[in-house]
Structure 1
């Protein structure tokens, strides 16, 4: 899998939140029925990296918010997201992940 994704990391109260989206989805809004997904620049626009770099960020993240075929696909490939749990809004995959730390 190749292509670029935006990643932004937030560190809040011991949590590491990763926001990531496929490059071409930044700034767009998707709607389907009652669902609405805003891929806001202020939340997602950080560093632009190759999708393979996402692996290191997912390893560190305790929470992740992922949008797009590349981001969600990579998270599924690495075992962080269950394909059955992926939400699609106007065909765009969206997944959230939370690691349970004991």
Structure 2
């Protein structure tokens, strides 16, 4: 998985995607989801295991998670409710917001 963290005016933004999702665009009939290098990759992104992903999501105010593995880890860790997960062309997507 690719993990990228950055600080914004609104707090820490964490983006996570399965590596094979990078550069892909998915559709679910109502919306499209593009997993861009600019947002999920780049030199700031690092390869991460499940533990690093969970730790980063705990530090985030906002999280964007794409891919079956990445979303599955967030659900398993109790950070994302399965009922809120969206599906795009068989690929899962979730957002996380800590208030």
Give the TM-score normalised by structure 2: 0.91
- In structure 1, the gaps of 5 or more residues are none
The equivalent residue for 2:8 is: 12
User: For the residues of structure 1 that align with 2:35 and 2:50, how far apart are their CA atoms?
Assistant: 17
Shift, 1:34, TM fit: 2.6
Q: Does 1:91 align with 2:87?
A: no
User: For the residues of structure 1 that align with 2:52 and 2:73, how far apart are their CA atoms?
Assistant: 10
CA RMSD of aligned residues (A): 1.0
Q: Deviations over 1:2-55 (max 9, x none)?
A: xxx001112012500101100111000011213100000010011112233211
Point out the structure with the larger strand share.
1
The ranges of structure 1 where at least 4 consecutive aligned residues each deviate by more than 2 angstroms after the TM superposition are none
User: For the residues of structure 2 that align with 1:75 and 1:34, how far apart are their CA atoms?
Assistant: 24
Q: Deviations over 1:34-91 (max 9, x none)?
A: 3100000010011112233211101111110000111111111111100000000111
Aligned length: 96
- In structure 2, the gaps of 5 or more residues are none
The equivalent residue for 2:73 is: 74
* Structure-to-structure mapping, 1:1-102, within 5 angstroms: 5-45=1-41, 46-100=45-99
Give the TM-score normalised by structure 1: 0.89
